[in-house]
Structure formats: structure tokens, C-alpha cells
């Protein structure tokens, strides 16, 4: 699978999980749990681990 197709699949899985109110989904390539944006918002702050769907990382980039 091409990198572009993988990214599209990941975004689809993320959007679907968020629409169901889920805090994570399973990465199709690795089988690992991946936190959704909802999980990060529930935590309330960035953990500085470079999470895939971190909404706080976007805020940090805009500030610099």
C-alpha cells in the first residue's frame, strides 16, 4: 500500500472513531492502539510524545 493510501486509511479510521466518541482506534499496519484527538482533549494538555493526532502540537506550531 502506498504511503498516501495509508494516510487516507488512517484519517478515515480516526474520523470514524471520533464520530463514535472513541478514545482510540487500532492502527491497521502495527495493530497498536492510537489515541484519537478526543483522547488528547480529554487529557487536557500535550505530553510531548509526538502523538499522531495531538491537537496541542498544532497550537505549539502556530505560536512559534
Could you read off the pLDDT of 2-51 as tens digits, one per residue?
Answer: 889 999 999 999 999 999 999 999 999 999 999 999 999 999 999 999 99
All structural domains of the chain with their residue ranges: 3-63
Give one DSSP letter per residue of 15-59, joined into a string: HHHHHTT-SEEE-TTT--EEE-HHHHHHHTS--SS--TT-HHHHH
The model's pTM: 0.81
Sole residue written with cell 483522547: 39
Amino acid at each position: 500500500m502506498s504511503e498516501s493510501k495509508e494516510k487516507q486509511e488512517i484519517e478515515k479510521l480516526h474520523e470514524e472513531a471520533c464520530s463514535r466518541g472513541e478514545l482510540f482506534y487500532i492502527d491497521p499496519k502495527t495493530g497498536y492502539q492510537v489515541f484519537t484527538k478526543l483522547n488528547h482533549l480529554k487529557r487536557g494538555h500535550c505530553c510531548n510524545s509526538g502523538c499522531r493526532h495531538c491537537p496541542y502540537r498544532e497550537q505549539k506550531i502556530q505560536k512559534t
